[in-house]
Amino acid sequence: MHQGTIRGLIAAAAITATVTAVGVYQSASAGTGASASSFVPITPCRLFDTRPGDDNVGGRGAPLGPGDVHTVTATGASGHCNLPSSATAAVLNVVAINPSASSYLTVFPAGQPRPTASSLNWTAGQAPTPNAVTAALSDDGKVSFFNLAGSVDIAADVVGYYQATSAGPAGPPGPAGATGAQGPAGADAVDPARVIWVAESGGDFTSVAAALASITDNDADHRYLVQIAPGTYVENAGIDLKDHVDLQGSGPGTIIQSNGSGSNGATVRIGTVHAELRSLSIATTGSRGLDISAAGDVDDVVVRDVSITVTGSANGPRGIVLAAARATLDGVSVALDSTASEQRGIAVESGSILVASDTHVVIEPTHGGGQDCYGVRSESSTLTFTASTILIDGCTVQGNALHAWASTVTVDQVSAVADTANPAQFNGTMIGGSSTATLDRLVSRALGTGGVSGLFTPGATILLRDATLTGTSHSLYRSSGTVQVVGALMGGATFSMSGRCTDTLTYDTLAVFTCS
């Protein structure tokens, strides 16, 4: 079973154009003259997508025909974006999809004469074709898209925008005149992050580590963005994020790779910083993909839209490790394919606090082996896990898809599955060691000849609501502690509950009971 069976990922086309200058932009909008503008990076958002159905964004659900001009408002709430009205230009990733004829696209300010230049070219039937386009906006924040021939669907994502900067330094003072009344104070000028580009060619640096090392004046008033173009960047010593420096790739095609020879065997290390890691992939043949030791607030460190793959053979491989740390995960996927023992997809340890959503973990040793597998394991920590999936498939000896010991756990809409044909001891979910847990809409299954319990609770206090539990041996096995169940669909050979719970349960029944 591959990771794609758990989570369907739609890979956005990567930007293939090389960006050779970042910073001051001379506005080409409909104003009377050029003015200096500064680049402000944003988390990519979809402005519009003309494809019908679930892909449609922005209202238009039909392709552009021959000679067709599609005009959209880029500022304000538009599509999935919300650019300020002060934006003078938008930096776009434009993709042509399903072209019926060879043609080109021209992107230009709405209401202005269309230039005789192309922003994107394609041939009939060509695969989705992307390009980076910087487009000036009209005075009312609009931009137009012209298609020459045939029909074609267009999707456009905004990755940043330009806006006018404040005035430059004053010249030498002239003779003092009469002092007038003081006017009202104006708003502070925007201080956008400084951008450093990493690319295999054409960037400021070819190495992520070198780009980070070049930053020496970073603080809350001097923020940086390290923007990484598509490509594979080998960083065997690993990289350490810096305070107030965000690291942003261009999607799954931006890969930071290592052999785990650096500190802690980690490819990326995040200490106590204010930083965001987003839109890239981490791949290692070592023991750790991402090591987090940040001790600040839970939202000081954010990992968003990141894919982590670990294939090392040394014992104890981990996709993500939090040790006495606090962090937020959103849109993260972790895959372990290793023959080693003591595998952890995500390890939350030593009083850590983790808030994770849309996070997906797969441990699948396709080459054999793989002992003691734990998809997500929390020990003496606080774990909040929502709208996520966990799968361990084909491991041996023992393990649990979701495991918590001496922890505080909150779960909502999580699927935890342990599936093995090996003669082993595996549970979909195990919560014990005086843990306290609230489990809402949990789907927990222990399948195969090695599966035991859908939910195993040795010594925990648990509130279970609207759950589905399936186990080869037990759907729910409470060896000690307290379990309160409000609505559960159960299937298993036995229920292994004490007192009246043993007497009142039947297969596939919505249950309301307390066992202690």
pTM given for the model: 0.63
Number of structural domains in the chain: 2
Instruction: Let me know whether 217 and 312 are in one domain.
Output: yes
CA distance 259 to 146: 47
For residue 481, name the pLDDT band (cuts at 50, 70, 90). confident
Are residues 346 and 216 part of one domain? yes
Q: What CA–CA distances, in Å, run from 402 to 200, 372, 414, 497?
A: 39, 13, 10, 21
Cβ pair 208, 35 in contact under 8 A: no
For residue 138, the model assigns a pLDDT of 94
Give the pair of three-digit tokens for residue 72. 């959209």
pLDDT at residue 3 in the model: 35
92/111 Cα distance (integer angstroms): 19
Q: Which of 125, 144, 164 is the last residue of a domain?
A: 164
Share of the chain above pLDDT 70, in %: 84
Which residue type is seen at 192? P
- Domain annotation covers residue 396: yes
Q: Which amino acid is at 405?
A: W
Give the CATH number of the domain where residue 76 resides: 2.60.120
CATH of the domain at 491: 2.160.20.10
Residue 452: per-residue pLDDT:
84
The pairing of beta strand 408-419 with beta strand 81-83: unpaired
| Residue 52 belongs to domain spanning | 13-164
What are the structure tokens assigned to 69, written together?
């001009």
Residue 263 lies in a domain: yes
Do 354 and 491 fall within a single domain? yes
Residues 265 and 145 in one domain: no
In a domain, 125, yes or no: yes
Same domain, 243 and 154: no
Same domain, 153 and 199: no
pLDDT band of 315, cuts 50, 70, 90: confident
176 band by pLDDT with thresholds 50, 70 and 90: confident
Higher pLDDT, 9 or 429: 429
Q: Indicate whether 176 belongs to any domain.
A: no
> Which helix (DSSP H) or strand (DSSP E) does residue 210 occupy?
helix 208-213
CA distance 457 to 481: 7
Please give the Cα distance from 474 to 451 (Å, whole number). Answer: 9
Q: Do the domain assignments include residue 184?
A: no
- Residue 180, judged by CB atoms within 10 A of its CB (0-12, 13-18, 19+), counts as exposed
Look up residue 334 and give its two tokens. 């972790």
42 confidence band (pLDDT: 50, 70, 90): very high
- Same-domain status, 246 and 131: no
Q: What is the mean pLDDT of the chain?
A: 85
Confirm whether 393 is domain-assigned.
yes
* DSSP 8-state code for residue 502: H
Do 215 and 80 share a structural domain? no
Q: Mean pLDDT check: name the lowest of 235-244, 351-360, 476-485.
A: 476-485
Of 256-260, 299-303, 307-311, 449-453, least confident by mean pLDDT is: 449-453
Query: Do 249 and 146 share a structural domain?
Result: no
Based on the fold, state whether residues 237 and 89 are members of the same structural domain.
no
Which pLDDT score, from 0 to 100, does residue 224 have?
96
Q: Do 443 and 375 belong to one domain?
A: yes
Residue 46 burial (10 A CB sphere; 0-12, 13-18, 19+): middle
- Between 6 and 146, where is the model more confident? 146
Helical ranges in 114-207 per DSSP H: none
Give a yes or no: residue 5 inside a domain: no
Tell whether 438 and 507 lie within a shared domain.
Answer: yes
